[in-house]
A and B are shown apart, each in its own frame.
Chain A
Amino acid sequence: MTDAARSAGAAKRAPLTAREAMLKKRHRSEAWFKAQGVAAIIIAMIFLVVLVGRVVGQGYSTFLTHSISVPVYLDPSRVDAAALEGVNYDYLVAEGMMKKLGVQDDDLGLISGKVMDLTSRDLGFQLLNQLKADPSLIGKTVTVTGPMKADADLYYKGEIKRSTLEEDRKLDNQQLDWLDQLQKSGAVTAGFNVKFFTNSDSTEPEQAGVLGAVVGSAMMLLITALIAVPVGVMAAVYLEEFAPKNRWTDVIEVNINNLAAVPSIVYGLLGLALFINWLHVPRSSPLVGGLVLALMALPTVIIATRSSLKAVPPSIREAALGVGASKAQTVFHHVLPLAMPGVMTGAILSLAHALGETAPLLMIGMVSFVPGVPEGFTGASTVLPVQVFIWENASERAFHERTAAAIIVLLVFMIVMNAAAVILRRRFERRW
């Protein structure tokens, strides 16, 4: 093409290009914004997948555990029926294990010591309990079934590898040989880890479970719900429907909005000063935890309730007032029922938020080792997020696996609550 022809073509197109260029630019910026939105969603999804994948990948193995059955000879010369508590049952179990493995203890007891590291102390406790129930078992051989020690369990799961330097792992080569031997002989069985759901915290990872934490969380949430929901809803109803609009109510409104943004640890300090030091509520109890979280959830419940009350059309209020309903009748017969889906959603979401809260609970002494289900609302208790925190700080490797598993339990708890919010919303929702 010649220059002349080219410039002629350009000149011909020139009047159009001004508008066309603008149009093109608009299309381009629209496509750009769309791409940015899609990219944002993809990034968010990747984070979510990585988070959930990591937690599940690390935690799912907790739900599988290896256990062993050991026949134990209850030697009458060593088991004294009069002092059952004083017997070294762990050694009796080790004897049974050594028999299974075909080894003899040495004079220093090194072999039996190494064998003892393979099975949980739960086996010994089982022996004690069986003997307590039936002392005639002395002199007989009893078979007990219980979990392997956490480190042995980790070896079976491939978390502890033979390729690691011997001095860098907790089990030496001889112990690994024994474990291989046991597995080959079929003495070790893999199964669902029921104990994780029926036990509470323990110093031994293979014995540790989340029951105490789940029950503690449920009790604490019950207290939170019983305080935050009625108080929050009534406060919101008063402020929205009855209170005169003046400077005082403005001040209150601003303060409620500010309280919703206060860091949760501050509520922990407030709870420590108010409930524990002043009112002497037992520390580390579901009661004090529930009270603190109720304080924290209140502003959110109030704000959610107020906004759903605001969304009820004024025509409904006029209709009720028009037939001679009093202010309270208008609110409780018509406005509040219509606002209920929003109130419920707000309340449950703020409770779900409270469920995952850790920081304020650390302030009121909940971060403590509690090896059982809380004894009532004033008993010592732990809760799921704090249990996660405690296990994460533990030095034993097997606890880290349980940390992830406890997070899974916590997430399931939250998903159940959020699903309940959706279902309640659907059920209460009415058209007008």
Chain B
Amino acid sequence: MTLFPFASPFRSGHAMSTQHRDDAIAHTAASVSAAPGAVEANAFKIRARDVNVFYGDKQALFDVNLDVPGKSVTAFIGPSGCGKSTFLRCINRMNDTIPSAKVTGAIEIDGNDVNAKSVDPVVLRSRVGMVFQKPNPFPKTIFENVAYGPRIHGLATGKAELEAIVESSLKKAGLWNEVSDRLHQPGTGLSGGQQQRLVIARAIAVSPEVILMDEPCSALDPIATARIEELIDELRSQFCIVIVTHSMAQAARVSQKTAFFHMGKLVESGATEDMFTNPRDSRTQDYITGRFG
């Protein structure tokens, strides 16, 4: 008997539509071998050592040590309030915006500590893009939404170059065909799934190295979710992607590496298929089999 009936295929590269997913699940065994190699082939992009986070007197994360591989998808799973989003927000220092938050330990991207005094969070966030739970396009046109990042970072020298960046970003986010004829209409007029892809295009437009996604599909319907998951799968060849998700099925479908957080501690991390087929910790097993959480 399998531990998790929703186990997924650990897809290797190609995009899949929802219809194909069922077939793919049937072929799980065949594609299993692809993933671990991919993880090892990449040097670790992000290294976290002894990360503790406090919100005032309350400690939210305890001694987290984690390596995140580059050019692949890493999923953070765990019950609500377990600290996975907190850890995600440490990577691009979004926790700086919370006055009471305090971070200790080291988080390195390519060997550079993000919390070092010399690091400007503005520059860091242009290297580490972020996609939030609720689609949050600016109340501006679709074009302006995507063009904003390149503009403030001076990535384009002229109008033509800026337009090229917007076009390629929207294409990468799989939105170009749907919006190319209405770039100057408000981004807030799009559907939820389109808005989330617009937000991903906005993050891509500043050519980040890492994209952090905080439950990007939790506000979307299953079809829009499938589109985003396909997109994540396409993007992992170019970016290091970290995704926080409540859906274990989603973690299994899109990620190569999974980290399980519980009560502010990193319980277990490893290649996704190992985690789901052979969890080492009993808490992980209980969680992924649905016994708590």
B134 CB contacts on chain A under 8 angstroms: 315
Q: Does B188 contact A (CB under 8 A)?
A: yes
Instruction: Give the shortest distance, in Å, between A238 (CB) and chain B (any CB).
Output: 15
Q: Does B293 contact A (CB under 8 A)?
A: no
Whether the pair B126, A324 counts as a contact (CB closer than 8 A) is yes
Q: Does A323 contact B (CB under 8 A)?
A: yes
In the complex, per-residue mask of B153-188: 1 if CB is within 8 Å of any chain A CB, else 0: 100000000000000000000000000000000101
Whether the pair B206, A323 counts as a contact (CB closer than 8 A) is yes
Interface residues of B (CB under 8 A from A): 92, 94, 97, 99, 122-126, 129-132, 134, 136-139, 148-149, 152-153, 186, 188, 199, 202-203, 205-206
Whether the pair B125, A323 counts as a contact (CB closer than 8 A) is yes
Whether the pair A319, B153 counts as a contact (CB closer than 8 A) is no
Q: Name the residue on A nearest B202 (C-beta).
A: A323
Whether the pair B94, A323 counts as a contact (CB closer than 8 A) is no
Whether the pair A322, B152 counts as a contact (CB closer than 8 A) is no
With A244-B99, A245-B99, A329-B152: A319-B129 Cβ-Cβ less than 8 Å:
no
**Residues A311-331 near B (CB distance < 8 A):** 313, 315-326, 329
With A318-B94, A318-B132, A324-B125: A431-B152 Cβ-Cβ less than 8 Å:
no
B125 CB contacts on chain A under 8 angstroms: 321-324
Whether the pair A319, B132 counts as a contact (CB closer than 8 A) is yes
Q: How far is the CA of A137 from the CA of B94 in the complex (A)?
A: 87
Whether the pair B129, A322 counts as a contact (CB closer than 8 A) is yes
Whether the pair B139, A432 counts as a contact (CB closer than 8 A) is yes
Whether the pair B138, A334 counts as a contact (CB closer than 8 A) is yes
Of the A-B pairs whose beta carbons lie under 8 Å apart in the complex, a sample of 21, sorted by A's number, is A315-B132, A315-B134, A316-B138, A317-B97, A318-B130, A318-B136, A321-B94, A322-B92, A322-B125, A322-B130, A323-B126, A323-B129, A323-B148, A324-B149, A324-B206, A333-B148, A333-B152, A334-B138, A430-B139, A431-B188, A432-B188
Q: How far is the CA of A181 from the CA of B153 in the complex (A)?
A: 85
- Total contacting residues, chain A, CB less than 8 A: 22
Q: Does A351 contact B (CB under 8 A)?
A: no
Q: Does A338 contact B (CB under 8 A)?
A: yes
Q: How far is the CA of A245 from the CA of B129 in the complex (A)?
A: 28
* Residue in B136, B152, B186 whose beta carbon sits within 8 Å of that of A315 in the complex: B136
B129 CB contacts on chain A under 8 angstroms: 322-323
Interface residues of A (CB under 8 A from B): 244-245, 313, 315-326, 329, 333-334, 338, 430-432
Majority-rule SS of A interface residues = helix
Q: Name the residue on B nearest A324 (C-beta).
A: B126
Q: Name the residue on B nearest A322 (C-beta).
A: B130
Q: How far is the CA of A329 from the CA of B199 in the complex (A)?
A: 18
Q: How far is the CA of A430 from the CA of B140 in the complex (A)?
A: 9
Instruction: Give the shortest distance, in Å, between A173 (CB) and chain B (any CB).
Output: 75
Whether the pair A319, B99 counts as a contact (CB closer than 8 A) is no
A313 CB contacts on chain B under 8 angstroms: 136
Query: Which of B123, B129, B131, B138 counts the most A-chain CB atoms under 10 A from its CB?
Result: B138
Instruction: Give the shortest distance, in Å, between A239 (CB) and chain B (any CB).
Output: 14
Q: How far is the CA of A315 from the CA of B134 in the complex (A)?
A: 8
Q: How far is the CA of A318 from the CA of B202 in the complex (A)?
A: 13
Q: Name the residue on A nearest B132 (C-beta).
A: A318
Whether the pair A323, B139 counts as a contact (CB closer than 8 A) is no
Q: Name the residue on A nearest B92 (C-beta).
A: A322
B139 CB contacts on chain A under 8 angstroms: 316, 338, 430-432
A325 CB contacts on chain B under 8 angstroms: 122, 148, 152
* Residue in A244, A317, A319, A333 whose beta carbon sits within 8 Å of that of B137 in the complex: A319
Whether the pair B138, A324 counts as a contact (CB closer than 8 A) is no
Q: How far is the CA of A432 from the CA of B140 in the complex (A)?
A: 9
Whether the pair B153, A324 counts as a contact (CB closer than 8 A) is yes
A-B contacts besides A317-B97, A324-B153, 11 pairs, CB < 8 Å: A245-B99, A315-B136, A318-B94, A318-B132, A318-B136, A319-B202, A324-B126, A324-B149, A324-B152, A431-B186, A431-B188
Q: Name the residue on A nearest B96 (C-beta).
A: A321
Whether the pair B126, A321 counts as a contact (CB closer than 8 A) is no
Q: Name the residue on B nearest A318 (C-beta).
A: B132
A329 CB contacts on chain B under 8 angstroms: 152
Whether the pair B136, A319 counts as a contact (CB closer than 8 A) is yes
List 7 A-B pairs, minimum CB-CB distance, nearest first. Answer: A324-B126, A315-B136, A322-B130, A323-B149, A324-B125, A432-B139, A319-B136
Q: How far is the CA of A326 from the CA of B125 in the complex (A)?
A: 10
A319 CB contacts on chain B under 8 angstroms: 132, 136-138, 199, 202
